[in-house]
Chains A and B, each alone.
Chain A
Amino acid sequence: MRKYLHVINIGIQSNLAYRFNYLTRTLFSFIPLFAMLSLWRTVYASGDSAREHSGYTETQILFYYLLVAVVDVLTAVNEDDWQIAADIREGNISQFLLKPVDYLTYRLSLFVAGRLAYVAMASLPLVLFLWCFRSNVAAPASLAAALAFPLSLVMTALLQFFLSYAMAMLAFWLLEISTFIFILFAFEYLASGHMFPLDMLPPGLQRVLAFTPFPYQMYFPVSVYMGRAAGAELVQGLVMQFAWVVAAYGFARFMWYRGIKKYAAFGG
C-alpha cells in the first residue's frame, strides 16, 4: 500500500508542473458552460412552457449544468487513457511485469493524483464561477442525498477510470486507438447526461440507457444530489452503480490479462 501512496505523491508533484495548463483549460471550459446556461435561460424566457415535459424549473436546469461541471472536475479521466495506450505501444509496461507493482493499481494511483492536482488548480475559479450563479445553487436535497452523493461520486470516478483503462487496453491489438476513444467519449457525452439531463429524452430511450453503465458516469450522482433519485430509487441506483463498478473492474482486468498474453507473445 505504501508504495502506491508514494506513486500518488509523485503523481501530484509531476501534475502540478502543468498547473498553467490546468488553469487555462478550466477558464476556457467556462465559455461553453456559460453559453449553455445562457441558452437555457433563453429557452425558459421564451415562455412557451406549455410544452414542458421534464419538470425542471429554470433554476434547476441551470444548477444541473453547474453540478455537471463540478462532478466533471472531480471525476473525469483526463489523459490517463492516452498515457496508458502510449505505455503499451512504447513498451513501457515491460518494467511493470518485472517489478512487484500492479499496473492497474499504479495507474489508479496516478489517476487519483491527477484529480487531486486538477481540483487544487480548478477549485478556485470554479467556486468563483458558482458564486456568480449562486442564486441557482442549492444544498443537497436531503440528508440521505448529502450522504449518498460522495459515495456515488467515488463510484463514478472508479467507473470512469476502469472503462477508460479497459478501452486503452485496445492498444495491445491496434496501433492507433484515439478514434475509438473519441467515439466512446461522444457516446458517453450524450448517454451519461453531460449534454442534457437524461429525463429529457423520450421514455423509450431512457429505458434503453438504464441498461448501460453510462448514466452512472454522470447523471446518477447529479440526480442524487438534486433529490431526483430518492428513496427506493436511490438505494437501487447505488446498488446498480456498485454492480457496474465491479463489472468494469472485472472487464479492465480481463482486457489486461488477454493483452498481456498477446504482448508476451510479441516480445518473445
Chain B
Amino acid sequence: MNWRRYLTIYAALWKNSVAREMSFKGNFLLWIVVELCWFGLQLSFVGVIFRETGAVGTWSQWEMVLLVGASNFIQQIYQAFFLVNCTNLSELIRTGKMDFLLLLPVNTRFIVSLRQVDLGAFINALFGLCVMLYAAGKLHLQPTAGQITGFGALCLVGILIHYSLMFMLAAIGFWTVRAQGIVYGYYNLFNVARMPDEAFHGAFKAMFTFALPVLLVSNVPVRLLADKIVSPVAWISLLALGVIWAVISEWFWRISVRRYTSASS
C-alpha cells in the first residue's frame, strides 16, 4: 500500500467534511449539545446510584465517573471516524451508490469506512476527557507515563473492536435490505460498555467478555489507569479479540462485497 497516497486522500476527505459541517453551523453545534445532554444523563445516573449506595462492587463513585468519562471518550472517538460511515453503508448498497465507490482506484473498505469525519464528536470526546481528568483529581491519581500510554493503547484496541463489530453488522446490508435496524441495535451495546464489569455474572458476562468484548473495552483501560486490579484474562482477552474480530470482519467484508449486485435496472 502506498501510505503517502492514502494520507493525501484522507486529508482531502477531512477537508470535505470540514466544508460540509461548516455549511450548517447551527446544526453542527446542536448535535454537540445533543451528545452533551446524553453524557450529562449518564453522569447524573452515577450520581443517583451513589445516593443509594457507597460502592458498586469495588467501584467507588469517582471510579465510576472515570469509567463513564472514558467510555464516552472511546465512543466519541469511534464516532468521529467511523459511525456515520458504518450507518451509511446499507444506504449506499440499497441505492446503488456503492458502484461509484467500487470504481475508485483505492481500497474500497478504506473509502467506505473513512469517507466522512464527524468533527463534533472530537469536541464531545474532549468533554469526556475533561470529566476523566476531574475524576482522576478527585481520586488523587498520579498515573505514570506507562499507565497513560497503556491506557491510550487499550483505548485504541477498544475503538478497533467497536469498528470491526459494527462494520460487520453494516456489511449484512449486502445480504438483506433490513440491515439498518441491526446497525442501530449496536447502540445498545454502548450502554453495556459504560457499566462496571463487576455488575455482571454468568452467561451474560461470558458473552460480553469472550465473544463481544464490550465489557472490556472501557473497563480494562480504566482499571489500568485507576490502579485497580487488572486480571490477565481480561486484558489478554481484549487484545486477542481485537485481532480476531478485525480478521473476521475483513473476511466477512470480502465475501459480502462479492454479493453486491448494484441497484440500477
Contacts and interface: CB of A to CB of B under 8 A. Distances in A.
Chain B interface size range: 35 or more
A35 B51 contact: no
A51 B52 contact: yes
A21 B31 CA distance: 26
A48 to B, nearest CB: 4
Interface in A162-213: 176, 179-180, 182-183, 186-187, 189-190, 195-196, 200-202
A43 B52 contact: yes
Interface string A29-61: 101101100110111101011011110000000
B56 A28 contact: no
B15 interface: no
Contacts of B201: 38
A24 interface: yes
A25 interface: yes
B191 A35 contact: yes
A20 interface: yes
A21 B121 CA distance: 28
A21 B191 contact: no
Given A24-B181, A38-B200, A176 B27 contact: yes
Interface stretch (B37-45, B94-102, B143-151, B220-228): B37-45
A186 B52 contact: no
A201 B45 CA distance: 10
B3 interface: no
B41 A195 contact: yes
Given A21-B181, A43-B49, A183 B54 contact: no
Contacts of B38: 186
Contact of A51 (B54, B57, B200, B204): B54
B37 A183 contact: yes
